[in-house]
Amino acid sequence: MKHCLLKPLSLDAWDDRYRELVQSGLIDPFYGGPLSRHVTASGDHRLERLRFDSSPAALRLWNFLLTENERLRQARAAGDRLVGAMKDLGTVPVMAFALKGLRAFYPDGTWWTPCLMEETDCLLPKAEALGIDASFCPVRAMLAAFQDGGHFPRPDFLICSAGAVCDDFSAIAQRLEKLGFPVLWWEIPRRRAPEPGETHSVLPGGMVTARELVDCVREELARVGKALAELAGQVPSDAIWKEGVQAANHVRGLLAELRRTVYRAPVPPLPAIEMLIAEMLAIHYCSDREETVAVLTDLLDEARRRLGTRVGVVADDAVRVFWVNPVADLRAMNLLEEWGGCLCGSDFMFTHAMDFIPENMPPLEALARMALADPMVGPAADRAARVVREARAAKAEAVVVARIPGASHSATEGRVILEAMRHALGIPGVEVEIAPVCDAMQPTLAGRLQALLETARARRMKKP
Amino acid sequence: MIFAGIDAGSRSIKVVLYDAATRKVVGRGIAEQGVDQARLAEALFDQTLEASGLGRSQVARTVATGYGRGSVRFAQSTVTEITCHARGVWQTSPNARTIIEIGGQDSKVIWIEPDGRVRDFAMNDRCAAGTGRFLEMVAARLGVDLCKLGEMSRASARPAVISSTCVVFAETEIIGLLASGAAVADIAAGVQKAIASRVSTMAMRAVVPPVYFTGGVALQAGMCRALQHALGAEVRVVPDPQFTGALGAALVAADQAD
């Protein structure tokens, strides 16, 4: 029996849908409202080109994402201290949210602002004027956002990891510090396999690394924890961090279930673009841990409901695509589905933030191990091995590796991942570079993605 | 029954009319690409039909491919160049396992299965240094006709080294080479070598023989030799390489009608 195909909505259509939902008794959260208000109020013009899932759960997700700066200002007004956790894919926020009165956010998330605002606020040229030009990753938009103060509020405390992180970001963050934004740096060493006979530790996700690296990161996190606790006026303790780990695992558990439900379904019940945004919540909770739980719970309920009623967001014969890396232009995720593909799995560069943080060991030890499992702090081959494993489990028919223009971590790893996929799974793959506004590149993008989907479809046919 | 394939490329539009009953190409045409892509494609289609003594009503199905495929509104469907080049090459050279296609705007490596299906592919469409555009720029800079550039390269005993990976910077290098008195033949051969090197990198040392070369750049004398040298494998040029995409599109149209 075929699935019922649920078409995505344009922004205008969402306004009509919103009115219907309100009339039928929709209870909006405090940050709710029609999506189009983000265009008029914040200049998020890209929304006019995107296609959205039609569920109230998706509406809540989008509103949650797009009100982060407002909510941060409200939190400050209510007395919370704001902690900017930079170059951090899910470690320091776990600790900060465990302390009463602290609220962590992810300034790096500004890398999507040029896309959402279609570059109308000129963050990228402003960053260039500050010495960080187009040869850097679009995350350079963050630098201008700090300087002009028109996006997120100036944080009370800035923390940034250094060491085995991307070169671009290190340069940008150092420039930021020079501009008068003091940063507490913590070091994350490059992950390496233990030497023969060397003491080792197992990391979440199954990788093994040298014990001394875990010790180093644990000590660094203890230093960070002390600074955070001082800011919150509390005494750091394992009990506090343990609460943070348990709460993080609650979010991760919901995400794991959401991914299982959506990606393992014969026809995905939620679209790729909403899945990308939902997964991003793992790393920083969009500045609100409790609300993240509510947003993810709604999405999971919606996915389960659709699965039970055989409702999908793509055609039954959509090509199952495993997607690697987030995209600078969210429109690319729509295009995948418009051209006949669907998302069956993902590695948006923070797979370690999807893994459970061990609870059977001291919390800082567990967090250190989790931080070292970050795909970006180790060899590309490690990441490729995980992508292969997950793509195999997802029964992927093709793989897309998205590149971020200027991002140093994207320079060569795409090739390593594609070669590993070809070798291990024998499925076709492409690497595509997606700029913050990719409209002009759409013919190029179409050429690659459509060819990939055609190739995957042709492989379904029985050999003569 | 007649099937039509239209390859709306970045430099030129190609039309192939294929008779499925006789398995023969019964007409073909080529025209330069321009601003009004839809009108140009339609005009070429009509001219080719007329020259072949056919009318639109005799065409059972039309498939468009190439960068401008979306603008060919009278086509019943569109298919990418990857699928079409693979189909076109396999028709004329069924033993092909690797296809190198270099067009005006991009270059591709396509690996195909023994049954003609695409196994995988790699594309360069973000850098002009591995495409026909590089040759056009060099021809213009050297003041020679594009068609003559390849012939000139044959006279080269020592191809110039073009080290820039960007066409804009490569142009600067060529100006420098000319100023230093380098022979035009050596520059032409050096550019071919540079393009072949880009394609070889894209092929990731995974070339499976036999290798076939298609696309408009395959008509350039010396280019096949440069590719052979870079890939370390024998490379054969398919018949009428500039029409392979359009032929493949016509064959796909016939397949779709089955």
CB B72 within 8 A of CB B41: yes
User: Which of A426, A428, A444 minimises the CB distance to B125?
Assistant: A444
Is B71 in the same domain as B109? no
Subunit contact B80:A454, Cβ cutoff 8 A = yes
In the 8-state DSSP scheme, what is residue A427? Answer: -
Angle, helices A68-77 vs A56-66, to 10°: value is: 60
Residue B64 shares a structural domain with residue B124 = no
A contact test, residue of B7, B113, B118, B251 with most A CBs within 10 A? B118
Q: Are residues B82 and A455, on separate chains, in Cβ contact within 8 Å? A: yes
pLDDT score of A222:
98
Distance from B158 to chain A by nearest Cα, in Å? Answer: 33
Helix/strand/coil (H/E/C) assignment for every residue in A115-182? HHCCCCCCHHHHHHHCCCCCCCCHHHHHHHHHHHCCCCCCCCEEEEEEECCCHHHHHHHHHHHHCCCC
Cβ contact A402:A332 at 8 Å? yes
- pLDDT, tens digit (0-9, with 9 covering 90-100), for B224-236: 999 999 999 999 9
Cβ atoms B42, B74 nearer than 8 A:
yes
Whether residue A464 lies within 8 A of chain B, CB to CB, comes out as yes
Q: Do B123 and A430 touch (CB under 8 A)?
A: yes
Which strand (E) or helix (H) includes residue A290?
helix A289-308
- Chain A residues whose beta carbon lies within 8 Å of the beta carbon of residue B67: 443, 447
Name the minimum distance, in Å, from the CA of A205 to any CA of chain B. 30
A461/B83 Cβ within 8 A: no
**Could you give the CA distance from residue A178 to residue A173 in angstroms, rounded to a whole number?**
9
Query: What local confidence, expressed as pLDDT, does residue B154 receive?
Result: 87
- CA–CA separation, A201 and A194 (whole Å): 9
CB contact under 8 A, B204 and A447: no
Q: What per-residue confidence (pLDDT) applies to B126?
A: 67
CA A362/CA A368 separation, integer angstroms: 10
- Judged by CB atoms closer than 8 Å, whether chains meet at B80 and A450 is answered as yes
Residues B121 and B230 occupy one common structural domain: yes
CA distance A47 to A44: 6
The shares of helix, strand and coil residues in chain A, as percent rounded to the nearest 5, are 55, 10, 35
A95 Cβ neighbours under 8 A, 6+ residues apart: A221, A224, A225, A228, A241, A244, A367
Indicate if ipTM > 0.90: no
Q: What is the pLDDT along chain B (258 residues), one digit of tens a residue?
A: 999 999 999 889 999 999 999 999 999 999 998 889 899 999 999 999 999 999 999 999 999 999 899 999 999 999 999 999 999 999 999 999 999 999 888 899 999 999 999 999 998 866 777 788 888 888 888 888 888 888 888 889 889 888 776 778 888 888 888 888 889 899 999 989 988 998 998 887 789 999 999 999 999 889 999 999 999 999 999 999 999 999 999 999 999 998
| Distances, alpha carbon B18 to alpha carbons A169, A302, B247, in Å | 55, 51, 8
Residue range of the domain that includes B34: 2-87+242-257
Q: Which residues of A touch B120 (CB under 8 A)?
A: 422, 428-429, 455
What domain count does chain B have? Answer: 2
Q: Tens digit of pLDDT for each residue in A386-445?
A: 999 999 999 999 999 999 888 877 667 888 999 999 999 999 999 998 888 888 888 888
Distance CA A28, CA A25 (A): 9
Give the tens place of pLDDT for each residue, B73-122.
Answer: 999 999 999 999 999 999 999 999 999 999 888 899 999 999 999 999 99
Q: B162-199 in b/e burial notation, b at 16+ Cβ within 10 A?
A: beeeebeebbebbeebeeeebbbbbbbbbbbbbbbbbb
How confident is chain A (464 residues) per 10-residue block, as mean pLDDT?
A: 92 97 96 96 94 98 97 97 95 97 95 91 92 90 93 96 89 94 96 96 95 98 98 98 98 98 97 98 96 98 97 97 95 96 96 95 98 93 95 97 82 87 94 88 87 94 58
Q: Residue with structure tokens 């205008």?
A: A12
Judge whether B217 and B106 are in contact, CB under 8 Å. no
DSSP A27: -
* 8 Å CB contact of B118 and A455: yes
Does the beta carbon of A462 lie under 8 angstroms from any beta carbon of chain B?
no
If you write DSSP's letter for every residue of A340-396 in order, what string do you get? TEEEEEEE-S-GGGGSPPPSSS-HHHHHHHHHHT-GGGS-HHHHHHHHHHHHHHTT-
B142 and B226 assigned to the same domain: yes
Instruction: Say whether A428 and B80 touch across the interface (CB within 8 A).
Output: no
- Neighbouring residues of A328: CB distance < 8 A, sequence distance ≥ 6: A111, A112, A114, A115, A138, A404, A405, A434, A435, A436, A438
**Rounded distance between C-alpha atoms, residue A286 and residue B66, angstroms:** 42
Extract the tokens encoding A158: 């800035």
CB contact under 8 A, A433 and B81: no
Residue A399: closest CA among chain B residues belongs to which residue?
Answer: B120
**Do B104 and B83 sit in the same domain of this protein?**
no
Instruction: Give the span between the Cα atoms of B235 and A372, in whole angstroms.
Output: 47
* Partner-chain contact B82 A459, CB within 8 Å: no
Is there a single domain that holds both residue B177 and residue B251?
Answer: no
Residue with tokens 């897309």: A400
Burial A216-235 (b: 16+ CB within 10 A, else e): bbbebbeebbeebbebbeee
A 386-445: CB under 8 A from B? 415, 419, 422, 426, 428-430, 433, 443-444
Give how far A276 is from chain B: nearest CA, Å. 26
A178 contacts: CB under 8 Å, gap ≥ 6: none
Asked if residue B198 and residue B103 are part of one domain, the reply reads yes
Do B227 and B106 sit in the same domain of this protein? yes
The answer to whether B5 touches B83, Cβ cutoff 8 Å, is no
- CATH of residue B19's domain is 3.30.420.40
Residue of B113, B115, B125 with shortest CB distance to A447: B125
pLDDT at A464: 45
- B106–A443 C-beta distance less than 8 A: no
Nearest one of B223, B236, B230 to B204, comparing CA atoms: B230
> What residues have CB less than 8 Å from A440, skipping those under 6 apart?
none
Cβ within 8 Å, pair A463-B113: yes
B66 to chain A: nearest residue by CA?
A447
